Amino acid sequence: EPEVTQTPSHQVTQMGQEVILRCVPISNHLYFYWYRQILGQKVEFLVSFYNNEISEKSEIFDDQFSVERPDGSNFTLKIRSTKLEDSAMYFCASMGAIDSNQPQHFGDGTRLSIL
């Protein structure tokens, strides 16, 4: 079964540095999402992306964050000038089409640790 893949599985970064989290969505999917989960808390929506532009973003997704689909396969989340509170699991998800029977498929996540 096709999967959403995320790299790296674990990223350790010094506070203030930039990080790029990578995702390869399922190949024929059109809708892409980033979520994050702070340890012990619920999964929170960050941003959705369709047709090469952001379709929706949450309050968390401020100017520190950006997303990009640089080629036909990768979907990246960039966090500039990381802060301690950015430490979390970051999940990428993708969905095939506008169809109420289509679920979002999640990757295994990237654990981001800011020191």
Partner 1 sequence: GQQVMQIPQYQHVQEGEDFTTYCNSSTTLSNIQWYKQRPGGHPVFLIQLVKSGEVKKQKRLTFQFGEAKKNSSLHITATQTTDVGTYFCAGSYSSASKIIFGSGTRLSIRP
Residues lying near partner 1 in the complex (CB under 8 A) are found at: 31, 33, 35, 41-45, 48, 50, 55-56, 58, 89, 91, 93, 95, 98-109
Beta strands 105-106 and 44-50: pairing type? Answer: unpaired
In terms of CB distance, is 81 or 93 closer to partner 1?
93
The least distance separating partner 1 from the CB of residue 65, rounded to whole angstroms, comes to: 15
Token pair 């929706």: residue: 56
- Two structure tokens written together for 63: 């100017």
In terms of CB distance, is 17 or 102 closer to partner 1?
102
The least distance separating partner 1 from the CB of residue 16, rounded to whole angstroms, comes to: 28
The least distance separating partner 1 from the CB of residue 54, rounded to whole angstroms, comes to: 11
Cis peptide before 8 (omega within 30 of 0): yes
Rounded (5°) CA angle 110-58-111: 10
- Two structure tokens written together for 92: 């990428």
How far is the C-alpha of 93 from the C-alpha of 11, rounded, in Å?
Answer: 19
- Two structure tokens written together for 40: 């012990």
The least distance separating partner 1 from the CB of residue 81, rounded to whole angstroms, comes to: 25
